[in-house]
């Protein structure tokens, strides 16, 4: 049985195929008037990803064939002798270094790690080449490579966003003409995110009771976020001046600090302290350090990842 699924995709006996008609002006390059390729999958999501990648590669290839037929523009202006065709533009990893240098006022360990990691992903999948040498086909290959590694759609989009930002900024700073190959890469519409279910209240009560019984810095951190909904990094980066227990409504002021940025501008807010979080805030102020959690925040850096790793061991 054969039936249509969408443009360029067909299902034959349960197997997806890519089918596209060859443009009339390019049919002399083909033995058939259409391209037909088995995608070798029964998965709709996998078929869409493969088909979009093949489609982009065909568009690039056909564009190249058409350019070959054109006369070279401004050929009369070309000087005699062999032209220097070496691409001296920054490579992917050089672009990462340049990007981090330009963004030095916003750097945090997490920001630096993410930029270097995402640049390394590109270099490993496509080669550490000049950023202008990547094509839209390369970007599609990189997207498929990330999906094959098991990354979710959200993670792939974040990586592409980082790579786009790196290349865009470096191209502007170096006066490089051209387009960013990673700017308009197709992303499939797939729902592979995992919903995080709330902790049942009975288990939350047990956890909060255990925090009060153990009564140490790590348990104060858990207790503080349990009734406030704060992000871990927000709590770890608190200064004691951010905690207000006097007055009719005890609360915490979440704001940007030199040692800890906020995820978004709207993350700056006041949070009322109640229940176990109020107990934790009182315990924090009873100790003399200026920082709520000096083990992970010293006024220079805020290491929420270390706090997370330590909490996961409990």
pLDDT band at 160 (very low <50, low <70, confident <90, very high): very high
User: φ, ψ for residue 185 (rounded to 5)?
Assistant: -70, 135
Sign of CA dihedral 102, 108, 113, 118: negative
- Among 125, 156, 157, 154, which Cα is nearest to 141's? 125
Q: What is the CATH code of the structural domain delimited by 89-173?
A: 1.10.150
User: H or E segment at 143?
Assistant: helix 136-148
- Among 7, 31, 6, 33, which Cα is nearest to 22's? 33
pLDDT band at 84 (very low <50, low <70, confident <90, very high): very low
pLDDT band at 2 (very low <50, low <70, confident <90, very high): very low
pLDDT at 61: 86
How far is C-alpha 166 from the chain's CA centre? Answer: 12
Q: Is 111 exposed, middle or buried (0-12, 13-18, 19+ CB in 10 A)?
A: middle
pLDDT at 238: 94
Domain 201-312 -> CATH class: mainly alpha
Count the Cβ atoms, other than its own, within 10 Å of residue 146.
Answer: 19
Q: Are 256 and 188 in contact (CB under 8 A)?
A: no
**Cα 27–28–34 angle (5° rounding)?**
30
Q: What is the three-class DSSP state of 257?
A: strand
User: H or E segment at 96?
Assistant: helix 92-102
How many residues in total does the chain contain?
A: 314
Mean pLDDT over 113-128 rounds to: 93
pLDDT at 45: 84
64-68, 106-110, 290-294: least confidently modelled range: 106-110
* pLDDT for residue 88 is more than 70: yes
* pLDDT for residue 204 is more than 60: yes
Q: List the domain boundaries for the chain.
A: 2-69, 89-173, 201-312
- Rounded CA-CA distance 42/311 in Å is 42
**Cα 148–61–55 angle (5° rounding)?**
45
- Rounded CA-CA distance 126/132 in Å is 13
- Rounded CA-CA distance 200/104 in Å is 43
Which residues, 6 or more positions from 300, have their beta carbon under 8 angstroms from its beta carbon? 259
**Cα 225–228–229 angle (5° rounding)?**
75
Q: Are 277 and 225 in contact (CB under 8 A)?
A: yes
Q: Are 110 and 140 in contact (CB under 8 A)?
A: no
* pLDDT for residue 192 is more than 90: no
Q: Do domains 89-173 and 201-312 have the same CATH topology?
A: no
Beta strands in 91-163 (DSSP E): none
Q: What is the three-class DSSP state of 204?
A: helix
- Rounded CA-CA distance 262/110 in Å is 12
Q: What is the three-class DSSP state of 43?
A: coil
What percent of the chain has a predicted confidence (pLDDT) above 70? 89
At 234-259, the pLDDT tens digits run 999 999 999 999 889 999 999 999 88
């Amino acid at each position: 049985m054969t039936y249509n699924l969408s443009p360029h995709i067909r299902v034959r006996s349960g197997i997806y195929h890519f089918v596209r008609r060859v443009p009339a002006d390019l049919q002399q390059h083909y033995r058939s008037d259409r391209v037909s390729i088995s995608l070798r999958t029964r998965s709709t999501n996998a078929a869409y990803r493969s088909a979009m990648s093949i489609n982009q590669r065909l568009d690039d290839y056909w564009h190249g064939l058409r350019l070959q037929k054109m006369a070279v523009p401004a050929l009369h202006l070309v000087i005699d002798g062999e032209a220097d065709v070496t691409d001296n533009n920054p490579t992917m990893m050089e672009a990462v270094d340049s990007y981090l240098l330009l963004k030095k006022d916003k750097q945090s360990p997490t920001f630096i790690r993410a930029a270097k990691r995402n640049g390394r992903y590109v270099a490993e999948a496509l080669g550490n080449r000049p950023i202008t040498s990547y094509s839209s086909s390369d970007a599609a290959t990189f997207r498929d490579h990330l999906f094959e590694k098991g990354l979710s759609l959200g993670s792939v989009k974040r990586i592409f966003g980082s790579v786009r930002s790196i290349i865009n900024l470096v191209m502007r700073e170096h006066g490089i003409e051209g387009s960013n190959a990673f700017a308009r890469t197709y992303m499939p519409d797939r729902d592979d995110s995992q919903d995080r279910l709330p902790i049942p209240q009975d288990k939350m009560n047990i956890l909060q009771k255990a925090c009060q019984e153990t009564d140490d810095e790590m348990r104060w951190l858990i207790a503080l976020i349990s009734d406030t909904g704060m992000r871990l990094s927000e709590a770890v980066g608190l200064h004691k001046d951010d905690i207000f227990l006097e007055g009719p409504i005890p609360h915490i002021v979440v704001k940007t600090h030199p040692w800890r940025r906020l995820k978004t501008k709207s993350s700056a807010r006041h949070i009322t302290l109640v229940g176990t979080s109020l107990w934790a805030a009182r315990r924090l102020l009873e100790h003399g350090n200026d920082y709520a959690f000096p083990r992970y925040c010293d006024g220079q850096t805020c290491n929420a990842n270390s706090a997370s790793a330590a909490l996961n061991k409990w």
